[in-house]
Structure 1
Amino acid sequence: MSMLIATVFGVGHLRPAPGTWGSAVAVLAALGLHYAGGFPLLAIASVLVFFIGWWATAQATRGAEDHDPSEIVIDEVAGQWIALLLVSFGAWHAGVDPLRMYPGWIAGFALFRLFDITKPGIIGWADRRGDALGVMLDDVFAGIFAALGTGVLAWISHGVLGL
């Protein structure tokens, strides 16, 4: 069961770029969660998937030399959902269809992948921990950076440019 969760039911076995596949599936799941219960459901699910993912990653990598094998993508789900929380909140608060805010969903996805791949600062620190918590935390931090970046882009678009 832990390997099914850690690989997001096999998505982590898709090639090339399993992390990108995991993030793409996470975006679709986030949209589904938003439609089912809005921002509150996505926020609760983000917290739950972090803790479930931490457990599943620890179980799946127990005794393995590689603490972060590429097929484990539950961490991408947690981070990607965090990256999209601001967009989900905006749609929920305004009472609009979240697809009307598609630039935010795209920005959240792209920025999350950028930060997850390049691992600047604290993201890289978390990744270097070498344990299941580090596997999850680097994506949490990448998600936070991506959410902040998406917010800045929204502010520029709507506040500065008036679009």
Structure 2
Amino acid sequence: MKLAEVIGTVFGVGLLRPASGTWGSMAALPLAYGLFQLGGFFLVLVALIVVFFAGWWATIQITTQGDDPDPSRVVIDEVAGQWVALLPVLYGAMFAGVEVTRLWPGWIAAFVFFRLFDIWKPGPVGRADRRHDPLGVMLDDVIAGVMAAVIVILLAIAYHVPMILG
């Protein structure tokens, strides 16, 4: 297997069926956890940047060999988007000095809302997807991740503010 395929399919996770994108998002969770345990929030942030550019490169390599601008086996974009959605949870754990697994509702919300926005493709997610190029493949998931991250933040505020005020 060529390097671009290894990266693009996240070591073959993208070959799982059905719903390869969901499998890719699920694979992103333990990867984020492991990176957070190894080096904290900032390691995940650096890894996210590396994954975005490596994924863009891999998608270029994979799509030049076929006529599908967004092959379902390419799930590195889901990893990047899922990590973006998790950033508020990881930052919250770092800020509060708590074990990141204690914020499990945030993990679930990040996963569910990322998948929702990635599948539904509202507004800017759909615009990025309609680029039909490798950058669009990566960007639609990153934008879906940003939208999910905003929801995660709003849910955290809705949960914590009454506790602080009450």
The normalised TM-score by structure 1 is: 0.97
Q: 2:124 aligned with 1:122, yes or no?
A: yes
- Listed as ranges, the matches of 1:82-93 within 5 Å are 82-93=84-95
Choose which of 46, 53, 56 in structure 2 pairs with 1:54.
56
Aligned to 1:26: 28
Partner of 2:133: 131
CA distance in 2, matches of 1:7, 1:160: 43
Secondary structure of the 1:15 match is coil
Structure 1 stretches (4+) deviating beyond 4 angstroms? none
Instruction: Note the alpha carbon deviations across 1:22-76, whole angstroms, 9 max, x for none.
Output: 0001011101111111111111111110000000010011141111011100000
Cα distance in 1, alignment partners of residues 128 and 162 from structure 2: 34
Counterpart in the other structure of 1:103: 105
The runs of 5 or more residues in structure 2 that have no matched partner are none
C-alpha displacement at 1:159, in angstroms? 1.1
Q: Which residue type is aligned with residue 79 of structure 1? A: G
1:3 alignment counterpart: 5
Give the % identical residues. 58
* Shift in Å, 1:95: 1.2
RMSD: 1.2
1:79 paired residue number: 81
Q: Structure 2: how far apart are the matches of 1:106 and 1:28?
A: 13
Partner of 2:70: 68
Tell me how far apart the structure 1 counterparts of residues 65 and 24 of structure 2 sit (CA, whole Å).
24
Q: Which runs of 5+ in 1 are unaligned?
A: none
User: How does the TM-score come out when normalised to structure 2?
Assistant: 0.95
User: Aligned-pair distance for 1:161?
Assistant: 5.9
